[in-house]
Structure 1
Amino acid sequence: MDDTRGVDGTGGTDGGAPAVGTLLGSQVDGVSCGPAVLVVTAALTGSGWPGALAGRFAAAQRTAHRQANRVWPRALGTTPWGMRAWLRRHAPAAGPFRVRPATAAVLRRVPGSGPVPLLVGSRFLPRHWVLVTGAGADGTWSVYEPGSGRVRPLHPRLLRAGDDDAVARVLRWPRAWCVLLP
């Protein structure tokens, strides 16, 4: 069963972002990390899916996946442009998003931008969506990783330093490819 503490306002930090360790709910299958991030982004920004999502989280992911991938095959995941279009249509309170490459300058803007979807992958392919939900006073990001369903800590200096093993332990994949900045 999906535990959604934090999505409905409990278990979060003072700023409304869920605390590290919070279980928000796992992706429903091996290609629904993007839709899980979309649903959690909508919930955290007050755009929809209010209240506890238990029992509805899997259905919400499947719906978001169909809506975000109108042409792109769902078996290949969700494109950054499909994510952006879904957020524009279904999570207006999150703000309009722009697809940006994960450069050092762009990554520095992430902590103050609200929930920020981040596409990570191998050195050669983008593979997995995660969601930066906030940052602590020391700069450590709180990142929702939908494979585990948990919010995990990641210091962005690990991305800049190219510490692939440390990043992969948190995000499942070592390299940042792009972000959706509001």
Structure 2
Amino acid sequence: MRTVSGLGRRVQTLFGDSAAVAPSGSTPSLRRLAAAPGRPLVGTEPGVQVRDGVRLDQVDGTTCGSAVLVALAAWAAPDELRRLDPGGPDPVVGGVRQGFGARYDARQKQVHRETNRVWPQALGTTPWAMVRWLARNVPAAGRYRVRLVDDSSAQDIGPLVAEVTAALAAGRPVPLLVGTVVPRHYCLALAARGDGGWNVYEPTSGQVRALDPALVGHRALAPVLGFDHLHAVLLPAA
């Protein structure tokens, strides 16, 4: 049975999505981007992600997309890292010292508000809202586009896996939207592994985990990312 996004992918292909017409076995040429200088917010190697004693997980059950956007913004833009970790003594607001954990949580909530001006915040964030937020707020990350996925189709999955791997090889993190038959949760693919796998930040646990892309076609992502189906990816557009 196709997921909701699998049906949407058929419509996206019908209306001429560029990913649908890429020659078999080919991948688009991407501009290579370097990460912002300094220590990244989220590392690319597997393990629990901690900064200043704070686990880098999502602040609540609706902010997985916001946690992914903050991680991607901090990868691309020094200003995002300075916002979270400005250096010097922690400020005191209303008599309460605002440490890194408070700033990190507040930033996720701010991004969640900014990406959901019409869409109900309780339903998370749409991938199109993620793309718009990145374009407005993190131009250094480059342009992104929404690529829906039909994970019941080997013909769709093969080129998709190749595109994600090519993006990671070019230093371009790729947000992943996973779920059941409906979309539920965002993660962030960060790096391609030597064995062909991906290292992926999973914000519920605050961990980077190794993922075998073959699991996409098996519809068996849950042991790594929490849900079995890949619904969409945000691919670099240039």
How high is the TM-score relative to the length of structure 2? 0.66
**1:119 partner amino acid:** L
1:155 corresponds to 2:212:
yes
Greater than 4 Å deviation, 4+ residue runs: none
Which structure has the bigger radius of gyration? 2
Q: How does 1:32-71 map to 2 (within 5 A)?
A: 32-46=63-77, 48-51=79-82, 53=85, 54-55=100-101, 56-71=103-118
The equivalent of 1:23 in structure 2 is 49
Deviation readout 1:25-76 (Å, 9 max, x if unpaired): 0000000000000000001122642156533211110010011111000000
More helix by share: 2
1:32-181 aligned at under 5 Å gives the runs 32-46=63-77, 48-51=79-82, 53=85, 54-55=100-101, 56-102=103-149, 103-104=156-157, 105-113=159-167, 114-122=172-180, 124-162=181-219, 164=220, 167-181=221-235
Query: What 5-or-longer segments of structure 2 have no aligned partner?
Result: 1-36, 51-55, 86-99, 150-155
Report how far residue 11 of structure 1 moved. 9.1
Q: Helix, strand or coil: the match of 1:147?
A: coil
Q: CA deviation at 1:135?
A: 1.0
- Alignment: residue pair count: 168
Q: Is the 8 A contact 1:143 1:154 kept in 2?
A: yes
Alignment correspondent of 2:24: none
Shift of 1:111: 2.2
The residue identity in structure 1 corresponding to 2:108 is Q
Determine the C-alpha separation between the residues in 1 that align with 2:114 and 2:142.
18
Q: CA–CA distance in 2 between the matches of 1:111 and 1:46?
A: 22
Structure-1-length-normalised TM-score: 0.85
Do the aligned residues in 2 keep the contact of 1:34 with 1:128 (CA within 8 Å)?
A: yes
Once residues 71 and 188 of structure 2 are traced to their aligned partners in structure 1, the CA distance between those partners, rounded to angstroms, is: 8
Give the C-alpha shift of residue 22 in structure 1: 4.3
Query: Secondary structure of 1:132's match?
Result: strand
Shift in alpha-carbon separation, 1:77–1:11, aligned structure 2, 3 A: closer
Give the distance between the partners of 1:8 and 1:150, measured in 2 at CA: 20
Identity %: 45
Stretch moving more, 41-50 or 133-142: 41-50
Matched residue SS, 1:50: helix
Q: Kindly provide the amino acid, as one letter, of the partner of residue 87 in structure 1.
A: L
Partner SS, residue 110 of structure 1: helix
- Distance in 1 (CA, whole Å) between partners of 2:81 and 2:201 is 18
Provide the secondary structure at the position in 1 that maps to 2:47.
coil
Structure 1 counterpart of 2:228, one-letter code: P
Structure 2 distance, partners of 1:95, 1:58, is 25
Partner of 1:4: none
